Structure 1
């Protein structure tokens, strides 16, 4: 028994020496410690001596039963799950009883879900010629960042993601620029640089690339003519793809360095960014309230992306603003020496800026198919001051003209039509004031120029005229609109916009003040006449009271007695003295002098002896003396 124990000790000592002198094995995981669900992972237990050994694999704790036992130094998990994660150890052993090596250091395996690649792109999938297209492949996988990327179109790998660094390419850039000439369905996936494990492939995105440059479109206005204070909204859009755009608004302006130049048909002009326009995604810009300074030609364009990609400029749209009333007329105006806004082709045309007072720096501006050349359009003659003329106008001279100062002030715009037909409408150049008459005339190109015509407003027949003229005696705001004339045999004129403005506020004030002054004067005159009338009436009554209060003189008493006697004789004879019975003549050489007294103003006073009923005219006693007789009206007086 003692001999057997000694043999076991000797054998164990030899086994330990054979296993490496009690050395410690090394545990490794391949391809790495961070597998994804479904990956294959191999664990290796490295020893200097491995033949004849049995390897034991432990998870979570060293004291637990081994999860696996292999004859070789490797242990493979073909498809790992989350539950396979944790700390692992290994050791080797042989014999019976088994002699073991030391435990290896722990190695942790962290199993995670397989990440899916995500394509990050702009919010739009349709791109235009010259626009940068960028797709970014992102993989969210915790702390792991050693990815390289591969891109696919329609399932086929097209290229690796690469960035240029010196003369070499490194597969480490998570961006891929698609050739702008290619459209397709694109997807990406990531591959770990160490270990080669891959992410899931991203969802595919469809990219459409156009060979054309994007164009902005500026919608038409309901009316190009506005009155100060009106409101108008400009609308811009990119009709093929309206996603992600920021809109910018421009207005024509004199040349300055840095201003973009816009070409439309055969005309070119410079524009500047409208300072108060909003660079928004809404695609609209509102002018409210409209003012004279808003007169001009407007264009828009759009931009998106970084760096910004710009569309082509939109088609130009003129916007014409006139003053609301004549009291605030601008200091300059366009003068058309033909006095009409419509002329025939081949007729001369002369325009100038009429300036009030001593204003300077005004020049003619226009929006036509003529390019600028010095101060006047191409092929026009520049005259002194701010005048331009052409001896034979053509259809390319059709357009909008206005005067503009160096400081940016503008006059009322004028729309001039050069007509190639045989009939034009002669209408006022400038707005018509409310209450004024308006005369329209239909003119024929050849002689006789007067023709019968039908006149229309906004497409509705207004009047038939045999003389070719139509007159509105007093215009109102309702008369504003588009007018034209038509002759069944000769043809139809172009339309002209008639603007009706409010009366001059200064003139209205003067009229109001004049009316008030006249009314005040009339009132004062009436008061004065009334006071004069009352004064005269009161004076007359005062005179009558003075006469009735005086006592009768002896001559008057005799006259009264004689008058009564004559009155009785007249009554007895049935005669009437007429007017002579009502008046008393002026008495001379008496202390009491009376003017003619009308008896009907002396009231009858009963039971008094000092009241006289009738004053009559009497004659003297033959010695040339005149006297008066007063008849007593006392009841019971004897005849």
Structure 2
């Protein structure tokens, strides 16, 4: 007796999740040979057709009635030597494969100096070299939920509360649907600093002599220095690349109050002004004694020559008087 097998086939609806988007896809299950009657002992191939992506992107699950009996990486399943008790309704279910993430994200920070100060602007950038159409998720501290979403995260440091650890990750609507978490960057935040203004000269500065001012700021790097005279006037500031300002030859007009501050970045972030520093000028006082002292220090040999010359002159005067006296006596 030859028995035939009934094989109703259905495509089981599959939920596929990619990134934040969810979509329902209806796979199609077909049977070969496509005969109305299949007899016991024949071979049957079930094929699960799926309209999205490559076959290698998916895993196929095979059901008889409501019971899974097999899963494969191929979209077909062969029943060899089918029997009457295998007559049933068959379904296929499609699921996206679980893969190990190989897409890396790199977090960079500009400017790169540390610490940063309240009021400074900081730009964090999340970079992913492979694939495209990424959405960038930003994480802060111990939070596991994103605090914002964009490729660059530029913000102004407002308080010490912004001191924290930051990292990022990319997500998108296609496979691969997400990247690995990036490296973590620690931002150290301090209050706006105030430099100290000092001078190379103690007391009044002699007119004509040099004086060097120093703007001391022991806080990270990247600073340029700005110098004000008489008033704190940004319009009339003198800028230097180093923390020193030299007056090569002091004049009376160089006397007065001086301030300094430092700045860095674009737009420029400025520190507080230093306390005022006074420069008093004075002229050198001269006297005959000090002039002779200076003269002696410069040319002692000339002084000896003058003394010897005076002695020779006196000696010649005495000889001349003796000759005259002798002539009178005769």
Q: Normalising TM by the smaller chain, what interval?
A: 0.5 to 0.7
CA distance in 2, matches of 1:477, 1:297: 37
- The partner residue of 2:134 within 116, 132, 146 is 146
Distance 1:139 1:53, change over 3 A: farther
Residue of structure 1 equivalent to 2:195: 216
TM-score (norm 2): 0.55
Question: Is the Cα–Cα contact under 8 Å of residues 119 and 202 in structure 1 kept in the other structure?
Answer: no
User: Which residues in structure 2 correspond to 1:299-378 (within 5 Å)?
Assistant: 299-323=259-283
Matched, 1:157 2:137: no
- The partner residue of 1:242 within 187, 205, 220 is 220
Matched, 1:137 2:115: no
Runs (5+) with no aligned partner, structure 2: 1-15, 19-24, 34-44, 60-73, 81-100, 297-329
CA distance in 1, matches of 2:295, 2:106: 67
CA distance in 2, matches of 1:70, 1:223: 98
Q: Deviations over 1:62-102 (max 9, x none)?
A: xxxxxxx98422534479xxxxxxxxxx9999999xxxxxx
CA distance in 2, matches of 1:250, 1:200: 51
Question: Is the Cα–Cα contact under 8 Å of residues 435 and 476 in structure 1 kept in the other structure?
Answer: no
User: C-alpha displacement at 1:272, in angstroms?
Assistant: 6.5
CA distance in 2, matches of 1:286, 1:70: 90
CA distance in 2, matches of 1:206, 1:94: 57
Higher relative contact order (CA 8 A, sep 6+): 2
Q: Secondary structure at the match of 2:253?
A: helix
Distance 1:286 1:179, change over 3 A: closer
Matched, 1:278 2:225: no
CA distance in 2, matches of 1:140, 1:160: 19
CA distance in 2, matches of 1:230, 1:215: 29
Q: Secondary structure at the match of 1:312?
A: coil
Question: Is the Cα–Cα contact under 8 Å of residues 228 and 291 in structure 1 kept in the other structure?
Answer: yes
User: C-alpha displacement at 1:172, in angstroms?
Assistant: 3.3
CA distance in 2, matches of 1:78, 1:295: 82
CA distance in 2, matches of 1:319, 1:477: 31
- The partner residue of 2:107 within 110, 118, 131 is 118
Question: Is the Cα–Cα contact under 8 Å of residues 53 and 93 in structure 1 kept in the other structure?
Answer: no
Question: Is the Cα–Cα contact under 8 Å of residues 224 and 318 in structure 1 kept in the other structure?
Answer: no
User: C-alpha displacement at 1:322, in angstroms?
Assistant: 3.9
Distance 1:228 1:158, change over 3 A: farther
- The partner residue of 1:289 within 249, 265, 290 is 249
Residue of structure 2 equivalent to 1:186: 166
CA distance in 2, matches of 1:196, 1:215: 50
CA distance in 2, matches of 1:278, 1:176: 28
Q: Secondary structure at the match of 1:219?
A: strand
Q: Deviations over 1:408-434 (max 9, x none)?
A: xxxxxxxxxxxxxxxxxxxxxxx4115
Matched, 1:52 2:26: no
Distance 1:114 1:195, change over 3 A: closer
Give the CA RMSD over aligned residues: 4.2
Which has the higher Rg, Structure 1 or Structure 2? 1
Question: Is the Cα–Cα contact under 8 Å of residues 46 and 78 in structure 2 kept in the other structure?
Answer: no
Distance 1:215 1:71, change over 3 A: same
Q: Secondary structure at the match of 2:275?
A: coil
Q: Deviations over 1:1-55 (max 9, x none)?
A: xxxxxxxxxxxxxxxxxxxxxxxxxxxxx888xxxxxxxxxxx9x98x632159x
CA distance in 2, matches of 1:132, 1:214: 12
CA distance in 2, matches of 1:221, 1:120: 38
Structure with bigger strand share is: 2
